[in-house]
Amino acid sequence: MLIIGLDPSLTCTGWGIVAKNGSRLSHVANGQVRTDAAMTLAERLVTLDRELTDVILRHRPDAGAVEEVFVNKNPQSTLKLGQARGVCLLALARAGLPVHEYATRLVKKAIVGTGAAEKAQVQAMLKVLLPGVKLAGADAADALAVAIAHAHIAPPSSQT
């Protein structure tokens, strides 16, 4: 089974795909979708949708997992993050995938063992869990963590 994890952002959305075979996990691919800040919000959302759809069509995952929105001090940033997250949910749902959502703290706990883990700790554990992985960036690492969390947390009946 292939699981795609997404770490939504209007600036740089991370994506990561893992294969789960029984209790074994392996890295399939990871990357980041960047949007140009000079574009309008609508144009940036279209870019995000188009590129995520391309990734989904290329890899054909069986399930999708998305990191939940956290609230920023800046309400405008939170709104933009929510809009990017909506595009992520839409792209997965349009492809007919079951979509699951996970809080950041739960993802960190599933990967590192504590919800208060730092990004560096998460990235170090990714290299242990997925030997030889080359991370496309911090957002891609977060997305892989979301995919792995889904593989560990979701009951087998909801993984597909």
Active site residues: 7, 67, 139
- Distance in angstroms between the alpha carbons of the first and the last residue of the chain: 8
Instruction: Answer whether 62's CB lies under 8 Å from 156's CB.
Output: no
Report the DSSP beta bridge partners of residue 20.
Answer: 25
Q: Quote the CA–CA distance of 21 and 2 in Å, as a whole number.
A: 9
Q: Quote the CA–CA distance of 125 and 118 in Å, as a whole number.
A: 11
Q: DSSP E strands: which ranges in 11-62?
A: 12-21, 24-34
Using only C-alpha atoms, the chain has a radius of gyration, in whole angstroms, of 15
25's tokens: 């996990």
What is the 8-class DSSP label of residue 103? Answer: -
